[in-house]
Amino acid sequence: MNTPKLFLIALGSLSLIVLGGCKTVSQRDYDAAIDENTQLRERISGLQENVRQANEGNDAFQQQNADLRTENQRLADELADANARPVTGFEGINGIDVGSRDGGAIVVGVAGDVLFSSGSDQLRKDAKATLNDIARVIKSTYAGNEIRVEGYTDTDKLVKTKTKWKTNENLSAARALAVEAYLVGKGIDNSRIYSAAFGPAHAKGSKKDSRRVEIVILGS
């Protein structure tokens, strides 16, 4: 027998001796270990799913919290803006917008389409309710102020064959006078109110917005 074969035989004998010295694990213990390992894996998987759901819930909560902060800031800004604007008494009247000018003048803008039909200086029936409310506030709150009624139009040239006014300035003057006369008829002191015609001057962002009458409450 040569040397390599002897070495292999010796190595095999050594392996048998070593294996023979190891403690034998029963099939029951082996199965129990496998079962415990499986249960631990399932528990870990369940815990990982709980963590994932918790993270998703936290993300949703954080987003809701951010949305609430944004909404709270918006409401706070609106409240601050409302508190910064003086109460004029004209708030809540349909068909108007209220602004201001330098010197404390209050500007009550009424859309031309609310007051008049196209190319006309005759007040619409439904416009009179708006002017009634404006007159009421003027008499109750601004009895000592001068009132200027300003008429405006858009920049479109009038078709002379369809209107008697010839120019936008003439139309704006007639409309301002119509509003002035109506307010005087509702009890506004004639000595404190006058009209001004601006035609297409001071145009606004659209033609519709440019067609308007502005009732300016001058500072006392």
Segment 172-191, tens digit of pLDDT? 999 999 999 999 999 999 99
Six token digits for residue 64: 């809701």
C-beta of residue 217 within 8 angstroms of C-beta of residue 105: yes
Note whether 150 and 205 are same-domain residues.
Answer: yes
Whether 135 is in a domain gets the answer: yes
Look up the domain containing 71 and give its range.
Answer: 27-84
Helix (H/G/I), strand (E/B), else coil: 27? helix
DSSP secondary structure letter of residue 190: G
**pLDDT score of 174:** 95
Segment 119-168, tens digit of pLDDT? 889 999 989 999 999 999 999 999 999 999 999 999 888 776 456 878 99
Sheet of 105-111, strand order: 96-101, 105-111, 212-217, 147-152, 193-199
The DSSP bridge partners found for residue 149 are 195, 215
Six token digits for residue 130: 């708006």
Whether 15 is in a domain gets the answer: no
Domain count, the chain: 2
